Amino acid sequence: MDVRRVGEAGLTGLRGRILTPVVRLVSRRTPLDERSLRAALGAVFLILAVRTLVAAGREARRAA
């Protein structure tokens, strides 16, 4: 499993289009390359999405 690909999966759609200029700007000012930054930010968004789904599932289970 390629960790970068998993991280970049979190930056699909609108999030990816919005964060692309941000990633480019940050990569110019830091020693990190664009692909690593995209993977890191994508992983953060992926974790947040899973967290939201789990919380919604727990809430639905409590309501049932």
| pLDDT (0 to 100) of residue 52 | 96
Please give the tally of structural domains in the chain.
Answer: 1
1 confidence band (pLDDT: 50, 70, 90): low
Question: pLDDT (tens digit, 9 = 90+) per residue, 24-34?
Answer: 999 999 999 99
Of the listed ranges 1-5, 28-32, 51-55, the least confidently predicted one is 1-5
Burial of 27 (0-12, 13-18, 19+ CB in 10 A): middle
Residue with tokens 């020693």: 31
> Which structural domain range is residue 31 located in?
3-63
Per DSSP, helices labelled H in the chain are 3-9, 14-29, 34-63
pTM check: above 0.85: no
Mean pLDDT of the chain: 89
